[in-house]
Structure 1
Amino acid sequence: MPYWLMKSEPDELSIHDLQRLGETRWDGVRNYQARNFLRTMQPGDLFFFYHSSCPEPGIAGIGRISNGHYPDPVALQPDSHYFDAKASAEKNPWSAVDVSFVEAFPRVLPLGLLKQQSALLELPLVQKGSRLSVMPVSEAQWQAILALR
């Protein structure tokens, strides 16, 4: 089973929001490489939920892909921060997936801690200059992160 890491700003969607909602749409991805990763996700895939752009960035829990990719509807909404004037109902280059809650960690696993783990040296998250909001996680990296809980 493929594993993933997906970033969200907690004031937009946090692990606790997902816990409260149970399931929601993951949209607004506006990087082609990250979008391509979304398009390979399958229902049942697990992902680490990463809180970004906040006082304590880090992995806050686990979610599950509950529905595979489909055209991102917010790309067509002019009042959305993620609106794309070039997108249309016939030709929408962006994708969204539905996600569901699995687990909130007792504490956020901070980025500094993740960077100290030799098993995570190849994880794009800990590499300098990596800004992807969606990225694959290997089985070994998944297990190494789970061991930090």
Structure 2
Amino acid sequence: MVAYWLVKSEPDAFSWDQQVAKGTEPWTGVRSHAARNNLKTMRNGDLAFFYHSNVGKEIVGIVEVEREAYPDPTAASGDWLCVDLKTVRPLPISVSLATVRADPEFADMALVRQSRLSVMPISPAHWVRLCRMGGLKD
């Protein structure tokens, strides 16, 4: 069964356009224990929204877990992990954080409750709703 996620990246550090150009990219640099634990839970085939944080604050695309958690090569020390994410498709319509926050159906979503968390689970119901808001039918 596919699980759903949201991963955040500052677009001036690594943008959706860079993800598209790379095709598949290691999701490195996560240094939050909660986010690391979420990376550890991801499985091949899981899907994630690609979210631009700081600049834009919007969901812009979808990626797929292509390689499960392994040691992050950018970590000098510690038990840090990364996964490989493969580009799936852009969202025809970006979904802004302001739009998500304005919708009461998302009140319990981690993006609203824990806005600093860089890797977070998304419920299947929220996934479907966000895809529709982003212009995707299924």
TM-score (norm 2): 0.92
Amino acid at match of 1:140: A
Describe the SS at the equivalent of 2:133: coil
How many positions carry a matched residue from both structures?
133
Describe the SS at the equivalent of 2:44: coil
1:27, 1:96 within 8 Å by CA — same for their partners in 2? Answer: yes
Q: Does 1:2 align with 2:3?
A: yes
Q: Does 1:102 align with 2:96?
A: no
Alpha-carbon distance in structure 1 between the residues aligned to 2:133 and 2:93: 10
Match of 2:126 in 1: 141
Match of 1:34 in 2: 35
Match of 2:75 in 1: 75
Unaligned residue ranges in structure 1 (runs of 5+):
77-86
Q: RMSD of the alignment, in Å?
A: 1.1
Match of 1:17 in 2: 18
Alpha-carbon distance in structure 1 between the residues aligned to 2:15 and 2:63: 11
Alpha-carbon distance in structure 2 between the residues aligned to 1:49 and 1:58: 9
Q: Does 1:120 align with 2:122?
A: no
1:4, 1:136 within 8 Å by CA — same for their partners in 2? Answer: yes
Amino acid at match of 1:9: E
Alpha-carbon distance in structure 2 between the residues aligned to 1:114 and 1:68: 29
Larger radius of gyration: 1
Once the two structures are superposed, residues 106-133 of structure 1 have per-residue CA deviations (whole angstroms, 9 ceiling, x without a partner) of 3321110011222211111112x53100
Alpha-carbon distance in structure 1 between the residues aligned to 2:87 and 2:124: 20
Unaligned residue ranges in structure 2 (runs of 5+):
none
Pick which of 30-39 and 111-120 moved more: 111-120
Describe the SS at the equivalent of 2:74: helix
Which consecutive segments of 4 or more residues in structure 1 shift more than 2 A? Answer: none
Match of 2:46 in 1: 45
Q: Identity of paired residues, percent?
A: 41
Alpha-carbon distance in structure 1 between the residues aligned to 2:88 and 2:31: 25
1:119, 1:140 within 8 Å by CA — same for their partners in 2? Answer: no
